[in-house]
């Protein structure tokens, strides 16, 4: 029986390069499908290795066990990683949105790895079952596709491990969040000091008035600070009690997101427009809460 050695080179190169560029799942599937078709075409023209029945049984029984073992280790590591991210978010609320995005991204990767693991093990079983049949064409097809799926899974796992071990993962995610906000790095340079000064005043007002609503028994600000609530939650609290309108709520949430991505990102550049927007939001918040 035969499978193509070029499977290793073509699938690994095309698929891994695609994942490193962080394409969508659909695009990844398209790349894998094209590579697999190319492999089958090359195989039909020039097969490299020939395997007997015993080699097929040994190779694919071992492959299914190795895949299952690696998958188990990945899931265990993923659980520890989630716990560590949760602890980091609890200690510093400014990481909350960043870590939430990372957890969502990692969870999607785990889903993809799980589906490919299930498919690869199933294909290994089919190869083993069909190894003693007389249908050579079907067996050869199963062998090539199985090898392609197994290699694709290994590439998925390597890509996932590289991303979670990247020491700049939080910084990279911060830059992504910043790019999604209206405030960006295009425009005349503004004062980072003025921006942070405006934000700190907004944070003070949110903490004082928002926490006072949730903890009316506390009369002084120092006591309120000890019962710290995330800024985004304070915004929603003020909105729910109709202290601020929907437009101001959305602008506050965006400003908080931008500020958090700014301090954890790779650049501290703010535009003059961003500074003006922070001042505008501050004035509107003061007016809504009657702060002098």
Q: What is the pLDDT of residues 19-50, one digit of tens each?
A: 444 456 676 677 767 777 776 676 666 666 67
155/184 same-domain check: no
Residue that is last in its domain, among 131, 146, 166: 166
Residue that is last in its domain, among 121, 138, 166: 166
100/132 same-domain check: yes
Residue 173 lies in a domain: no
pTM for the predicted model, two decimal places: 0.74
Torsion sign across C-alpha atoms 185, 188, 189, 190: negative
Helix segments in 21-135, DSSP class H: 25-45, 53-91, 96-130
Domain range for residue 274? 178-289
> Could you count the other beta carbons within 10 Å of the beta carbon of residue 85?
20
The string of pLDDT tens digits covering residues 128-176 is 888 877 677 788 888 888 888 888 888 889 989 999 998 888 888 888 8
User: What is the gyration radius of the CA atoms in the chain, in angstroms?
Assistant: 27
pLDDT at 46: 65
Looking at the structure of the chain, the number of domains it has is 2
Surface-to-core class of residue 279, CB atoms within 10 Å of its CB (0-12 exposed, 13-18 middle, 19+ buried): middle
Residue 172 lies in a domain: no
How far apart CA 85 and CA 205 sit, in angstroms, is 29
The string of pLDDT tens digits covering residues 234-271 is 888 888 888 889 999 999 998 998 888 888 887 788 88
């Amino acid at each position: 029986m035969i499978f193509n050695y070029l499977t290793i080179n073509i699938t690994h190169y095309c698929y891994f390069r695609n994942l490193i560029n962080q394409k969508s799942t659909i695009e990844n599937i398209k790349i894998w499908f094209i590579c697999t078709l190319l492999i089958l075409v090359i195989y039909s023209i020039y097969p490299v290795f020939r395997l007997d029945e015993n080699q097929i049984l040994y190779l694919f029984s071992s492959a299914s066990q190795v895949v299952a073992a690696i998958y188990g280790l990945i899931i265990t590591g993923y659980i520890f990683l989630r716990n560590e991210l949760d602890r980091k978010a609890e200690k510093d609320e400014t990481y909350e949105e960043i870590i939430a995005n990372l957890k969502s991204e990692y969870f999607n990767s785990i889903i993809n790895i799980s589906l490919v693991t299930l498919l690869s093990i199933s294909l290994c079983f089919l190869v083993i079952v069909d190894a003693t049949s007389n249908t050579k064409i079907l067996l050869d097809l199963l062998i090539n596709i199985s090898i392609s799926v197994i290699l694709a899974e290994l590439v998925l796992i390597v890509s996932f491990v590289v991303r979670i071990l990247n020491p700049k993962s939080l910084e990279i995610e911060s830059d992504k969040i910043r790019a999604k906000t209206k405030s960006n790095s295009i425009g005349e340079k503004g004062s980072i000091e003025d921006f942070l000064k405006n934000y700190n005043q907004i944070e003070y007002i949110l903490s004082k008035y928002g926490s006072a609503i949730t903890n009316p028994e506390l009369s002084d600000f120092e006591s309120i600070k000890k019962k710290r609530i995330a800024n985004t939650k304070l915004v929603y609290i003020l909105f729910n009690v109709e202290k601020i309108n929907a437009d101001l709520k959305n602008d506050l949430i965006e400003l908080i997101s931008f500020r958090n991505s700014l301090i954890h990102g790779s650049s501290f550049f703010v535009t003059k427009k961003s500074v003006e927007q922070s001042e505008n939001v501050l004035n509107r918040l003061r007016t809504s809460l009657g702060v002098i």
